């Protein structure tokens, strides 16, 4: 009985760990997508500003360095800064896209791993159920699962005779419990 509970706990913990990792990766993916959207919006805004400023310069032909007014010089400086900012944003966007791709690959791998674990666990669980049913049919032992953790309770049903048992694992060794159950089965 202890082994069966241990296996179920391991399966449950494994599935919970995978769910936590999947939630974390989905959050990263959402954050990266949000950042990408923000960068795209900024890029479009910067591009509009550059286009407007370039249009203003084309309309005003006094673009020589010596004949530029202070406002034109300031505008020219803003255009250069905006272009550099745009380049930096593009670099950041490319890095974010690479990170998003890596996260998507990890998410795919984790999803695949989770499916494999789920398949393996279902096969193991099916085998475990078969083994428990087989042992139950051979021995006639029916376990009572709603007892204390350190208690093994149930009954042996053979040839219409019920023999209940209740053993404390702290007071008795596993060897004693096994022998006691064999003796009860032989008496039936």
User: Is the same domain home to 115 and 158?
Assistant: no
At 34, which helix (H) or strand (E)?
Answer: helix 2-59
- Range(s) of the domain holding residue 144: 140-188
User: Is the same domain home to 131 and 150?
Assistant: no
Residue 176 has pLDDT above 80, yes or no: yes
Closest to 82 (Cα-Cα) out of 46, 37, 125 = 46
User: Is the same domain home to 123 and 178?
Assistant: no
Task: Strands of the chain (E only): list them.
Answer: 141-144, 151-158, 161-168
Rounded Cα distance, 42 and 49, in Å? 10
User: Is the same domain home to 84 and 173?
Assistant: no
Task: Mean pLDDT check: name the lowest of 73-82, 105-114, 170-179.
Answer: 73-82
User: Is the same domain home to 120 and 43?
Assistant: yes
- Rounded to the nearest integer, the mean pLDDT of the chain is 81
User: Is the same domain home to 57 and 148?
Assistant: no
Residue 63 has pLDDT above 60, yes or no: no
User: Is the same domain home to 108 and 150?
Assistant: no
User: Is the same domain home to 50 and 123?
Assistant: yes
User: Is the same domain home to 135 and 156?
Assistant: no
User: Is the same domain home to 135 and 182?
Assistant: no
Please give the tally of structural domains in the chain.
2
CA 71 → CA 46, 47, 61, 86, distances in Å? 19, 20, 14, 22
User: Is the same domain home to 115 and 46?
Assistant: yes
- pLDDT score, position 119: 85
Residue 133 has pLDDT above 80, yes or no: yes
User: Is the same domain home to 29 and 44?
Assistant: yes
- pLDDT score, position 71: 80
């Amino acid at each position: 009985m202890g082994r069966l509970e241990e296996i179920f706990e391991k399966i449950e913990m494994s599935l919970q760990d995978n769910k936590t990792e999947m939630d974390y990766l989905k959050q990263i993916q959402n954050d990266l997508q949000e950042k990408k959207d923000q960068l795209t919006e900024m890029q479009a805004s910067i591009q509009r500003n550059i286009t407007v400023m370039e249009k203003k310069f084309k309309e005003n032909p006094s673009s020589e360095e010596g004949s530029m007014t202070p406002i034109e010089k300031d505008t020219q400086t803003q255009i250069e800064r905006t272009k550099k900012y745009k380049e930096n944003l593009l670099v950041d966007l490319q890095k974010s896209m690479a990170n998003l791709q890596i996260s998507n690959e990890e998410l795919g791998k984790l999803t695949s791993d989770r499916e494999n674990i789920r398949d393996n666990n279902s096969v193991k669980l099916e085998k475990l159920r078969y083994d428990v049913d087989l042992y139950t049919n051979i021995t006639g032992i029916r376990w009572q699962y709603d007892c204390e953790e350190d208690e093994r309770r149930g009954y042996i049903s053979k040839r219409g005779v019920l023999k209940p048992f209740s053993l404390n694992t702290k007071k008795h060794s596993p060897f004693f419990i096994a022998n006691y159950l064999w003796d009860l089965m032989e008496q039936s």
